Amino acid sequence: MSSVATTPAAGEIAGLSPRKRKVIKALDVFGLIATVITVLGAIFWAFPLYWAVVTTLKVENDIVQPGIQLWPQRFTLDAYTHVLFNTKIGTWYINSLVTAASVTVGVVLISSLAGYAISQLNFPGRRILWWIILASFMIPIPALIVNHFVLISQFKLFNSWLGVILPQLVYGPVTVIIYKQFFDSVPRELREAAKLDNANEFQMFFRLYLPMNWGITTALAIITFIGAWNQFLWPFLSVTNEQMMNVTVGITQVTDAFGVKYARDLGSAILAGLPVAIVYLIFQRRVTEAIMLSAGIKG
Amino acid sequence: MSAADTAADVPLPARKKRFNRNEVLAALIFVLPFVVVYAVLFIYPTLQMIWLSFHKAPLIGPGTFIGFDNYLKLFKDKLFGVALWNTVYFVILTVVPATMVALAIAVGVNRLKGWMQSLILACFFIPYILPVSVVFRVWGWMFDSQFGILQPLIALVAGDNVPVFRTLPLFMPTVAFITVWWTIGFNILLFIAGLRNISPEIYEAAALDGTPRWRQFTRITWPLIWPITVLVLTIQLIAQFKIFDQVYLFGNGGRSDATMGLVQLIYRSAFQKNNGGYGATVAVVLFLVIVVFSVLQFQMLRARGNK
């Protein structure tokens, strides 16, 4: 903001009264201080993650030395090789990947289909359906854990991928609303033109509405995936078998019998967070867009 | 809640008198997966939760109808009082600080340009996308009672190393602080979007009038950003009432009753004590608390914003 106010003022500044000139100068000093504080804040925010990563690259003996080593003196990947080869993290990774990907596909598919019908089609019960979707925001998902558990047990899905996946399909009713809004804004003329070509509703959806909103599908898929990967409470409740655990649950619930090893514990955590961190770094703009949309702000 | 509200403002087109048979048929196929999933996994469990709360029942298996006994028991249960207080305490410790800090950071980040802005924003935002287990390990290491990098600082104040997560008065504030660190990126993002919507001309005019920086903030930025503030407060309030993961993990697997929140009481009653009926009762109360709070707070803040 300050540059907007000050740079073009360079020419005009001569015409201003000395008092006003002083004010503009004062603004710049303020701006500098604000920038310095922001940068220091960012360093403070990023430091715990940096410190965790650096710790995993140290030899275990160096970690417990007094004093602060901001960079490993003796560099090693032992923590990672140990975690990768001596724990079940590989299996947990697969469990997380399968369940998170299935939740993503499921949520995107059912939401886009329903969003299309609510947006474009006229059918009895449409209004009731819409109100149920809006009302579902009120219900706190953690309140449903007891009855989700009862349901999953009735279907004998305890300790299975499907048991982890199914309840998570209702975690994001907002995707339906976002799809409805985007389908609403597809120009009416395109629909009329497709109708003249004798396109049925399914062709209309798969060839016109879905491809036209490919960007939003990507964005929603990414945050649904991140959300499902990060899910803790439900995967923690619905799985007790170590073989079937998700990585976020596994690394906290299964502990090494040989006492605390800082680098290994942190290494397994870094590995658990790595996929979502990478997805975020690649699709930064999409993630931001989707988060804003689910908060009700059109980006 | 918020998205629902904005979406509710968009009216559905007026209902046509007659339905087209083919269109209705297609619509049924389109909404069928959604309806089945939400009926089985959302509406049915919600109704069953209410039903179960009137029964004395194990987690799995039949129970007996006992009317409001579970609710009466709840209000006499000391643990429920503890859980409710801890939840409210956690909400107080997180919601307002996270909103204010996020606004300050957003104003700072919004002033920056280009790659510098992206880099700084990423620093603040990246914790938000990480799973709770990573946050747990990272901060467990920062505060580790033997080798934690923060212990020298703590020793400076307290005279000795302090096992923060095993010291009751420090537990909730520390977990709240970590939660703010973890989730603030979301708030910052919303505030930046709001700040970008304020036209720079307003500030230019104010600067030429010699309006001091602070006045510019209180007279321009703050009123214009108010709707976003309401949004951020409401979203957080609802989210933090559902607190479980961090408190459970840092509380050493929920071994102490003193750090218990409402969701943890549901978990404990239904899963650890096999009292499904009582767990469902706590769940119903949590549900009511969230509905009441979200409606109340939203109305209150909106009324103030309209003044």
Instruction: Find the residue in A nearest to B196 (Cα).
Output: A1
**Amino acid (one-letter) located at A222:** I
Task: Render pLDDT for B207-241 as a digit per residue (tens, 0 to 9).
Answer: 888 888 788 888 889 999 988 898 898 889 888 99
| Residues contacting residue A203 through CB under 8 Å, at least 6 positions apart | A194
Q: How far is B58 from chain A (nearest CA, A)?
A: 10
For testing the chain B interface, which of A147, A166, A204, A236 should be mutated: the one with the most B CBs within 10 Å?
A147
Instruction: Find the residue in A nearest to B190 (Cα).
Output: A292
| Nearest-CB residue to A140 (from B200, B210, B242) | B242
What pLDDT band is residue A4 in, cutting at 50, 70 and 90?
very low
pLDDT of A27: 59
What pLDDT band is residue B8 in, cutting at 50, 70 and 90?
very low
pLDDT of B302: 60
Residues of B in contact with A265 (CB under 8 A): 137, 140-141
pLDDT of B138: 96
pLDDT of A225: 96
Q: Does domain A80-294 have CATH number 1.10.3720.10?
A: yes
Question: CA B297, CA A31: separation in Å to the nearest integer?
Answer: 35
Would you call A7 an interface residue with chain B, using a CB distance cutoff of 8 Å? Answer: no
pLDDT of B3: 43
* Residue, of A235 and B296, whose pLDDT is higher: A235
**Amino acid (one-letter) located at B163:** P
The per-residue pLDDT of chain B, averaged, comes to: 88
What pLDDT band is residue B307 in, cutting at 50, 70 and 90?
very low
Using the predicted structure, report yes or no on whether residue A259 has a pLDDT greater than 80: no
Which residue in the block uniquely carries the two structure tokens 């009082």?
A: B81
Question: CA angle, corner B305, sides to B200 and B198, nearest 5?
Answer: 10
Q: Report CA-CA distances (Å) from A100 to A290, B42, B133.
A: 17, 19, 16
Using the predicted structure, report yes or no on whether residue A8 has a pLDDT greater than 70: no
pLDDT of A10: 41
* Residue, of A23 and A184, whose pLDDT is higher: A184
Would you call A227 an interface residue with chain B, using a CB distance cutoff of 8 Å? Answer: no
Alpha-helical runs (H) found in chain A: 2-6, 9-12, 18-56, 60-63, 78-86, 89-120, 126-135, 145-154, 161-168, 174-184, 188-196, 201-203, 210-212, 214-230, 233-238, 247-253, 262-282, 284-294
B141–A68 CB contact, under 8 Å:
no
Task: Render pLDDT for A39-83 as a digit per residue (tens, 0 to 9).
Answer: 999 999 999 999 999 999 998 888 888 888 888 888 999 899 998
pLDDT of B217: 87
Question: CA B252, CA A149: separation in Å to the nearest integer?
Answer: 23
Q: Per-domain residue ranges for chain A?
A: 2-56, 80-294
* Residue, of B71 and B16, whose pLDDT is higher: B71
* Residue, of A45 and A24, whose pLDDT is higher: A45
pLDDT of A6: 40
A108: which 2 tokens?
């995107």
Q: How far is A281 from chain B (nearest CA, A)?
A: 9
Task: Render pLDDT for A204-232 as a digit per residue (tens, 0 to 9).
Answer: 999 999 999 999 999 999 999 999 999 99
Mean pLDDT of the A153-175 span: 92
Compute the residue count for chain B.
307
Task: Render pLDDT for B115-156 as a digit per residue (tens, 0 to 9).
Answer: 999 999 999 999 999 999 999 999 999 999 889 999 999 999
pLDDT of A25: 57
Show the domains of chain B with their CATH numbers: 78-306 (1.10.3720.10)
Distance of CA A24 to the CA centre of its chain: 42
Residues of B in contact with A87 (CB under 8 A): none
Instruction: Find the residue in A nearest to B101 (Cα).
Output: A41
Question: CA B204, CA B214: separation in Å to the nearest integer?
Answer: 15
Q: How far is A49 from chain B (nearest CA, A)?
A: 7
